[in-house]
């Protein structure tokens, strides 16, 4: 029987090739024992067969294991049993976290093994090894999933038992607090011993005494294991104190102790334990205190903690400037003041414009001068106030200005000019990041970045061009998208003489109307027009004026091509001729010899045609 099973498996391997063999992956003890017997009969044992044999032994053992039993728990009858249930809850949560990590690790291994199987040939000697390895990972995953289900089930069943214990048991709070104090002293002493051993280990490591380092490492590991037990005990005693406060409905103590327990868990336990305890606290508090009180107390405690932590964080120095520590709070206030100054400056400009609109005696130039000067003055004042709030000595700004003036004297005029031009571009917003600008007929593109010295323009060919800022300030620049994304395109075309020009205009406008292009814009002022612009030697010339909105204005050649195709199709369908240049040739005199040759050639052509007939 075993021979038939082995033959079937080997045949499956040959047929399936590099796919996953479900017979092996989902096999039982008989299949693995049959494969092991066949492997032993083959005689000489190399590394590949030894690995296959080891994997088969593991598969046999894991297949013989009975299903993971459910965890039996019962309601605590006294404080000791309640404490034991707390310890078990911590162990279940830790085991659950370890099982989840094991499942994730095995899933990664399964994926890697499956990828290797796809790459193996059907006749590869390593194929059986990979199939066995995949089967071992798969069964290990199923085992850990069973354990995970059991731990999650136990954790979910524990919450009602804790609630029942809180309601029925009497807790010795003073004894629990005394035990917490003793545990704190023991933990402090243990931490000092670990630190002392760490110092000793570093000394031996510097001397190159590896045996002494290993010895101290073992001692440190033992002390850390002892520390973990003490932390578990402290957590248990604090939970008893929390349960007593919950029993007596001392709300302030309930949420204070909950925060203390969660702080310990966040430092010494994985995230899964934090989630389990957070869920347990919420369930117990809701059942004893009620949902409203639970939300109120938890929110108030969390708000206190968050405010304290937030205030501490924002006042922590991030960096220093000339020995002055700059915190996030100072930085935020400085930015807020500067931003407020910018807003006030903007409002000032609007008020000047409104005043100029009402007062006809105020000219446009005066209005611009007043609004810009006032705006810049307000922004500069806000800037210096922001620096003062940050604690930066303004005398350092004077030093920088003095050094800058010296630098200008040594030939930094261009750099300073570009720097000032960059500030002008940033403040005026005539050219912004994302705008589509045209420097000349051969250079158009998006503004990618405006820096202090230069501006980057990315063309439609995805070429980045660096332009000094002063060129953008001093020279003429066309901004296609300064106020909106609506642009008029002029598409020239021509028709032959003899066509009805009014009909041509109507056909093109109708074609544009029915084109279905969603980016065509039209209102009472800006709408599609067809205008006759000239009469050339060979054609009557027109131009189509069409307004385009949206992103297509940034691709003029593509947009123009689209409408040229539309015009061509419309004229072709209407049988309107599109002209091309024509020339009449008048021959005034011909040499007699050329005339004779032409006549002879015509006679030959006529004879050839008669023969064909």
Most confident of 124-138, 388-402, 485-499: 485-499
pLDDT for residue 436 is more than 90: no
Contacts of 394 (CB under 8 A, 6+ apart): 384, 387, 388
At 613 the pLDDT is 42
Asked if 238 and 261 touch (Cβ cutoff 8 Å), the reply is yes
Q: How confident is residue 181, by pLDDT bands cut at 50, 70 and 90?
A: very high
Pick from 152-161, 300-309, 331-340, 573-582: least confident: 300-309
At 611 the pLDDT is 46
pLDDT for residue 5 is more than 50: no
At 475 the pLDDT is 81
- Across residues 133-156, what is the average pLDDT? 89
Nearest Cα to Cα of residue 251 among 294, 283, 292: 294
For the segment 269-314, what is each residue's pLDDT rounded down to a tens digit? 998 898 998 888 888 888 888 766 556 555 655 666 566 667 677 7
Residue 71 vs residues 149, 204, 281, 483: alpha-carbon distances, Å: 10, 47, 22, 71
More confident residue, 560 or 52: 560
Percent of the chain having pLDDT more than 90? 9
Name beta bridge partners: 450.
455
d(Cα 488, Cα 520) in Å, to the nearest integer?
10
d(Cα 534, Cα 542) in Å, to the nearest integer?
7
pLDDT for residue 18 is more than 70: no
pLDDT for residue 576 is more than 70: yes
Q: What are phi and psi of 464, to 5 degrees?
A: -90, 125
At 253 the pLDDT is 83
Residue 185 buriedness (CB in 10 A; 0-12 / 13-18 / 19+): exposed
Nearest Cα to Cα of residue 10 among 52, 58, 45: 52
Q: How confident is residue 9, by pLDDT bands cut at 50, 70 and 90?
A: very low
Pick from 25-29, 171-175, 229-233: least confident: 25-29
At 15 the pLDDT is 39
Nearest Cα to Cα of residue 90 among 336, 269, 300: 269
d(Cα 86, Cα 494) in Å, to the nearest integer?
92
At 3 the pLDDT is 42
pLDDT for residue 199 is more than 60: yes
């Amino acid at each position: 029987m075993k021979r038939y099973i082995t033959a079937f498996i080997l045949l499956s391997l040959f047929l399936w090739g590099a796919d996953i063999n479900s017979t092996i992956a989902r096999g039982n003890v008989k299949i693995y024992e049959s494969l092991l017997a066949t492997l032993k009969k083959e005689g000489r044992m190399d590394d590949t067969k030894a690995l296959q044999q080891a994997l088969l032994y593991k598969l046999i053992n894991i297949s013989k294991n009975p299903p993971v039993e459910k965890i039996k728990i019962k309601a605590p009858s006294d404080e000791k049993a309640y404490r034991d249930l707390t310890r078990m809850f911590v162990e279940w949560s830790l085991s659950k976290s370890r099982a989840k990590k094991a499942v994730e690790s095995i899933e990664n291994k399964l994926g890697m093994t499956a990828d290797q199987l796809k790459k193996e040939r059907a006749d590869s000697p390593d194929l059986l090894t990979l199939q066995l390895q995949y089967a071992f990972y798969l069964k290990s995953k199923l085992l850990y999933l069973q354990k995970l289900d059991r731990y999650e089930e136990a954790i979910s069943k524990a919450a009602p038992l804790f609630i029942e214990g809180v309601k029925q048991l009497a807790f010795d709070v003073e004894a629990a607090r005394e035990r917490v104090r003793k545990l704190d002293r023991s933990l402090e002493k243990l931490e000092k011993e670990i630190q002392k051993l760490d110092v000793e280990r570093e000394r031996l490591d510097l001397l190159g005494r590896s045996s002494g380092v290993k010895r101290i490492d073992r001692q440190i590991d033992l002390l850390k294991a002892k520390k973990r037990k003490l932390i578990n005990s402290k957590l248990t005693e604090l939970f008893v104190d929390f349960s007593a406060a919950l029993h007596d409905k001392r709300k302030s103590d309930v949420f204070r102790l909950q925060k203390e327990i969660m702080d310990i868990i966040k430092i010494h336990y994985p995230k899964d334990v934090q989630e389990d305890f957070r869920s347990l606290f919420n369930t117990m508090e809701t059942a004893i205190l009620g949902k409203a009180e639970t939300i109120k107390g938890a929110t108030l405690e969390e708000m206190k903690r968050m405010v304290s932590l937030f205030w501490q964080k924002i006042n922590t120095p991030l960096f220093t400037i000339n020995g002055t520590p700059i915190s996030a709070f100072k930085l935020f206030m400085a930015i807020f003041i500067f931003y407020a100054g910018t807003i006030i400056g903007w409002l000032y400009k609007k008020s000047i414009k409104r005043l100029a609109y009402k007062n006809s005696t105020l000219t446009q130039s005066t209005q611009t001068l007043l609004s810009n000067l006032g705006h810049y003055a307000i922004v500069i004042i806000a800037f210096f106030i922001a620096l003062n709030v940050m604690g930066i000595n303004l005398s350092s700004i004077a030093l920088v200005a003095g050094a800058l003036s010296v630098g200008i004297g040594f030939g930094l005029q261009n750099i300073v000019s570009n720097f000032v031009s960059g500030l002008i571009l940033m403040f005026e917003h005539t050219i912004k990041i994302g705008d589509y600008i045209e420097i000349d007929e051969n250079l158009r593109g998006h503004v990618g970045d405006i820096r202090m010295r230069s501006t980057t323009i990315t063309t439609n060919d995805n070429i980045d061009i660096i332009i000094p800022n002063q060129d953008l300030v001093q020279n003429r620049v066309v901004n296609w998208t300064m106020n909106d994304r609506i642009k008029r395109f002029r598409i020239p075309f021509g028709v032959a003489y003899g066509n009805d020009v009014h009909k041509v205009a109507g056909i093109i406008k109708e074609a544009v109307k029915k084109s279905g292009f969603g980016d065509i814009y039209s209102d009472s002022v800006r709408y599609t027009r067809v205008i006759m612009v000239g009469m050339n030697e060979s054609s009557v010339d027109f131009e189509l004026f069409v307004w385009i909105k949206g992103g297509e204005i940034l691709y003029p050649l593509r947009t123009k091509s689209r409408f040229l195709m539309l015009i061509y199709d419309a004229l072709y369908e209407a049988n309107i001729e599109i002209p091309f240049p024509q020339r009449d040739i008048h021959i005034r005199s011909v040499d007699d010899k050329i005339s004779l040759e032409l006549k002879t050639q015509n006679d030959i052509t006529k004879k050839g045609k008669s023969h064909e007939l």
